[in-house]
Structure 1
Amino acid sequence: MTIEISNVITVIALTAFAGCTSFIGALISHKVQFSESKILTLTAFGAGLLMSAAIFQMVLEAEKDVGLVLTMISFASGAVIFAIADYLAEKKGGGAGILLGIGLDSIPESLAIGASIAAAAPITALAVIIGIQNIPEGIASYKEMMTGKTAFNNNPKKALGSIGIVSIIPIILGLVGLFYLQEMQFIISIILALSAGGIFYMLYYDMIPKAHKERKWVPTFGAILGFMLGFIIIRVSGGQ
């Protein structure tokens, strides 16, 4: 199948937005001092967005193509894979876990976005949701990097540079998906289900507990707003 230049441009634009917004969030956090409560609310908002994407743009889309059993197996496998990767990153330390959190959730989606563009599949909403979610994630991640807990302590250039490098990866993977995974809907659906399982692992292992560590009601409504916005984006874009 011939790859049109318009498809290449579309993939680059969508994956750049989905990935590079982490760097934008980090820049915002570098310039603006956010209180702990605002960070928690932003984290919850991002969690709500990711939940809507995982349910409506990943699990349901995958189930249409590969069936319930394979979708659930892939979903569970994704959670296990993310758990292992998270464990290895935490064991290594030095900020690896933070960078993993920034990039891991967008890696499989980037492959799926690239592969789906050639088939004109309704995947735009996924890129938009991931991109919006990465802004609060970048804000929170940069603040965490600037603490005494990581190797990035008091080194803005190192932190911003690391986030910037991770933010470029989705563009590369999106092009890989476009050129090598087109017309492989079965593989795309498995990737989406794996990613959804990984996202749910991150939500309940890290993001949601972190957002509610002070047990305040504002972060809860941040998550509700994020879920609502994600669902609206999916419906308006022609998804579920």
Structure 2
Amino acid sequence: MMTLIVVVVVSGALILGALWGIYGKLSNRTEGFLVALAGGALMVSAILELLEPATHDAPLSWALLLVLIGAIVFVGLDYLVKQRWGGDSGGGLLAAITLDGIPENLALGVALIGADPLSVAALSGSIFLSNLPEAAGGAKEMSKNDHSKGKILWLWVATALLLSAAAIAGHYFLDGATKESLAYIRCFAAGAVLASLAIEVFPKAYKEDNYISGIATAIGVILAFYLNSLGK
């Protein structure tokens, strides 16, 4: 039951964000603030919920190498996406969220194996905070390009379903995997998340909200660190 709730909450953020971006009002500064806050939260969770626990179950050198590989893979795929759709297009952001979200949600499913609700709250909450404004911004940009609102919404719904499937697969199909294998998946996902923060999240936040994004990032770090402390 906890797995289903977490998956619905996290992936539902994409649909809620898309609805907000298509039909609601979202100023650039509000979007930038929310993206920066989400980035700060996700950065803490990537380290404390994915990377740090993984180092206890796998050799440190291999764990860190998988972080680097995850970052390299994300950057390479993100580059190809931007060559295809353009860096500022909503379609490019949609593809980037998908590339980042698959290993991220796979790791979320893995994290749910044998975990208590509070320890998972930090990671799932941070992914929710990240997905909501990113989906809103992406849908908003896509609607500016005269795309059908219904088509845009269905694209985001399909993305949410894909990422939900990744989380469910991570939880059920990897339940019997060794701790070392799960650790490597977490490290790969952490690398992809950190790379996405560097080239997608924080630059966008600064562009939209300038220096206030620095404060928003700190707030996100505080929130995620507090959530993480509840599970200790």
Shared fold (TM-score greater than 0.5)? yes
Cα displacement (A) at 1:108:
1.9
Asked if structure 1 preserves the Cα contact closer than 8 Å seen for 2:74 and 2:192, the reply is yes
CA 1:116 to 1:54, structure 2 compared with 1: closer, same or farther past 3 Å?
A: closer
Asked if structure 2 preserves the Cα contact closer than 8 Å seen for 1:48 and 1:224, the reply is yes
Cα displacement (A) at 1:214:
6.0
**Counterpart of 1:103 in structure 2: which amino acid?**
T
Matches of residues 91-240 of structure 1 in structure 2 within 5 Å? 91-93=83-85, 95-120=90-115, 122-148=119-145, 153-184=146-177, 185-213=179-207, 216-238=210-232
CA distance in 2, matches of 1:134, 1:46: 8
Any idea what the Cα deviations from partners look like across 1:175-198, whole Å, max 9, x if unmatched? 222332113222221111111111
Which stretches of structure 1, 4 residues or more, deviate above 6 A after TM superposition? none
Asked if structure 2 preserves the Cα contact closer than 8 Å seen for 1:22 and 1:163, the reply is yes
Task: Confirm or deny that 1:31 pairs with 2:29.
Answer: no
Q: Under a length normalisation based on structure 2, what TM-score does the superposition of the two structures give?
A: 0.88
What is residue 49 of structure 1 aligned with on the other side?
41
CA 1:217 to 1:170, structure 2 compared with 1: closer, same or farther past 3 Å?
A: same
Any idea what the Cα deviations from partners look like across 1:126-168, whole Å, max 9, x if unmatched? 12221222111122111222233xxxx3421111110111011
Cα displacement (A) at 1:105:
2.6
CA 1:95 to 1:209, structure 2 compared with 1: closer, same or farther past 3 Å?
A: closer
Which SS does the other structure have where 1:182 is aligned? coil
**Counterpart of 1:183 in structure 2: which amino acid?**
G
Over the aligned positions, Cα root-mean-square deviation in angstroms equals 2.0
Any idea what the Cα deviations from partners look like across 1:206-228, whole Å, max 9, x if unmatched? 21112112673222111111111
Identity score, percent? 26
Q: Which moved more, 1:203-212 or 1:215-224?
A: 215-224
Which SS does the other structure have where 1:183 is aligned? coil
Cα displacement (A) at 1:21:
0.6
Q: Under a length normalisation based on structure 1, what TM-score does the superposition of the two structures give?
A: 0.85
Which SS does the other structure have where 1:119 is aligned? coil
Cα displacement (A) at 1:117:
3.1
Q: Note the residue ranges of structure 2 that are not aligned, 5 or more in a row.
A: none
**Counterpart of 1:120 in structure 2: which amino acid?**
A
What is residue 5 of structure 1 aligned with on the other side?
none
CA 1:215 to 1:158, structure 2 compared with 1: closer, same or farther past 3 Å?
A: closer
Cα displacement (A) at 1:95:
4.9
CA 1:206 to 1:113, structure 2 compared with 1: closer, same or farther past 3 Å?
A: closer
State the aligned residue count.
226
